[in-house]
């Protein structure tokens, strides 16, 4: 644990309880672990336990459930033992606590036991508000906040901190691929970071991430989106087909498009530097630079059409339409043409690529394990099975 985790004398001061990030947790008489992110809360509590055990291997660890609490348990377990071993008391479900626990906890807060560290896990809600207010005003307590990481920048910083903690470097492009592969699943993301560090002695780059996690549907989704926004309509459509044929869920694919378009919309018309926009927009500077490159050549009308097509595709893949393929192909066509409806003739697009481009531009579903035949407009049609 970093320097901030070094135990210091618990002097009674007039200051209120400080609020720390999950990875800044340190010993205190009472530690409130708040927030709805159970994964970060568990990591923080385990981090504290490991630190205390490293200080004294004789550490006694006890667990309580505040929802099924019996009066007197807190005082009994926190009180010094015969041999004076340090104690760690972990109390779960404080947001569902009983009246007996609430009374005992408020009483304990007035005079915490020497040598004991009491961790209170509160996952949110109004239950126990009186206790929370008292904890936050107490000089004997600290609060460790574990909120959901909703912003891309927050998840980026989380993953980056994992590599820093493991003493490794990762390129921005590789980190972006990794975030795309695991989305909001912090547990899997952290495990992937550890795996990459364990299996490579060099700087972690894009080829390595693709080697390990290139088959995940979310990574494929960003590949499709990148191709479409680069104007490579035929390649994007083929990549989409390959993804769907391999069993990819279309919902994350639409989500990848939405993330890209949302980033473009947020940076359009903004003249500040990427560093200046990073905080207000909740995006990493490299994400802002990428969104600006993607947004080149777009206007407000084209963006409005893209947002409308995104909404239609999102509804279709979530059950509003029997045909989930055509809205995705239509979306690719629109994005590849920067929000316009004109047909795109790509240099070097021949054979199957030209057919894919023409089919999407003519608003016909593409052949998907079905027999194809040209319709009277010269576009591909599908003989539905």
The phi-psi region of residue 120 (left if phi > 0; otherwise alpha if psi is between -120 and 50; otherwise beta) is beta
Work out how many domains the chain is built from and give that number.
3
Within this chain, do residues 75 and 176 fall inside the same structural domain, yes or no? no
Asked whether residue 157 is domain-assigned, the answer is: yes
CB atoms within 10 A of CB 156: 21
Q: What is the pLDDT along the chain (385 residues), one digit of tens a residue?
A: 544 443 443 443 446 789 999 999 999 999 999 999 999 999 999 999 999 999 999 999 999 999 999 999 999 999 987 788 999 999 999 999 999 999 999 999 999 999 999 999 999 988 989 999 999 999 999 999 999 998 878 888 999 999 999 999 999 889 988 887 776 778 888 988 999 998 887 889 988 888 888 766 555 677 888 889 999 999 889 888 877 877 777 888 888 899 899 999 999 988 888 878 888 888 877 788 889 999 999 999 999 999 999 999 999 988 888 888 888 999 999 999 998 866 444 444 433 344 343 333 333 333 333 333 333 333 322 232 2
CA–CA dist 265, 299 (Å, integer):
10
Within this chain, do residues 89 and 155 fall inside the same structural domain, yes or no? no
pTM beyond 0.85, yes or no = no
**How large is the C-alpha radius of gyration of the chain?**
27
Give the single-character DSSP code of 61. E
Q: Which of 115, 145, 175 is the last residue of a domain?
A: 145
Q: CB–CB of 116/78 below 8 Å?
A: yes
Within this chain, do residues 88 and 202 fall inside the same structural domain, yes or no? no
Within this chain, do residues 275 and 359 fall inside the same structural domain, yes or no? yes
Residue 293 — φ and ψ, nearest 5°?
-65, -45
Q: Which of 123, 145, 167 is the last residue of a domain?
A: 145
Q: Name the percent of the chain in helix, strand, coil, to the closest 5.
A: 55, 10, 35
Within this chain, do residues 47 and 183 fall inside the same structural domain, yes or no? no
Range of the domain at 272: 231-382
Asked whether residue 7 is domain-assigned, the answer is: no
The residues facing 381 across adjacent strands are 373
The CATH number for 171's domain is: 1.10.8.60
The CATH number for 257's domain is: 1.20.272.10
């Amino acid at each position: 644990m970093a320097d901030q985790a070094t135990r210091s004398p618990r002097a009674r001061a007039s200051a209120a309880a400080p609020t720390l990030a999950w990875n800044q947790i340190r010993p205190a008489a009472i530690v409130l672990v708040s927030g709805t992110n159970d994964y970060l809360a568990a990591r923080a509590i385990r981090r504290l336990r490991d630190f205390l055990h490293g200080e004294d291997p004789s550490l006694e660890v006890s667990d309580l459930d505040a929802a099924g609490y019996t009066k007197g348990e807190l005082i009994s377990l926190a009180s010094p033992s015969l041999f004076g071993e340090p104690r760690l008391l972990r109390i779960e479900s404080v947001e569902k606590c009983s009246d007996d626990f609430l009374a005992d906890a408020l009483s304990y807060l007035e005079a915490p036991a020497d040598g004991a560290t009491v961790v209170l896990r509160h996952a949110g809600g109004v239950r126990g508000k009186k206790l929370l207010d008292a904890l936050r005003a107490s000089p004997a307590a600290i609060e460790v906040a574990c909120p959901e990481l909703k912003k891309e920048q927050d998840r980026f910083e989380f993953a980056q901190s994992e590599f820093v903690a493991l003493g490794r470097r990762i390129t921005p492009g590789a980190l972006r691929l990794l975030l795309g592969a695991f989305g909001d699943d912090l547990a899997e993301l952290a495990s992937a970071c550890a795996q990459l560090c364990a299996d490579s002695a060099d700087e972690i780059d894009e080829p390595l991430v693709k080697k390990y996690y290139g088959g995940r549907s979310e990574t494929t989704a960003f590949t499709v989106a990148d191709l479409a926004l680069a104007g490579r309509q035929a390649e994007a459509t083929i990549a989409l087909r390959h993804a769907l044929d391999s069993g990819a869920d279309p919902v994350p694919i639409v989500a990848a498009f939405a993330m890209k378009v949302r980033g473009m919309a947020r940076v359009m018309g903004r003249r500040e530097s990427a560093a200046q926009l990073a905080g207000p927009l909740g995006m990493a500077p490299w994400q802002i630079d990428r969104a600006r490159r993607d947004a080149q050549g777009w206007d407000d009308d084209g963006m409005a059409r893209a947002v409308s097509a995104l909404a239609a595709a999102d509804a279709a893949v979530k059950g509003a339409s029997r045909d989930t393929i055509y809205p995705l192909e239509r979306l690719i066509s629109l994005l590849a043409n920067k929000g316009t409806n004109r047909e795109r003739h790509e240099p070097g697009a021949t054979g199957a690529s030209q057919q894919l481009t023409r089919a999407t531009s003519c608003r016909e579903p593409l052949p998907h394990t079905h027999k194809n035949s040209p319709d009277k407009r010269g576009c591909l049609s599908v003989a539905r099975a």
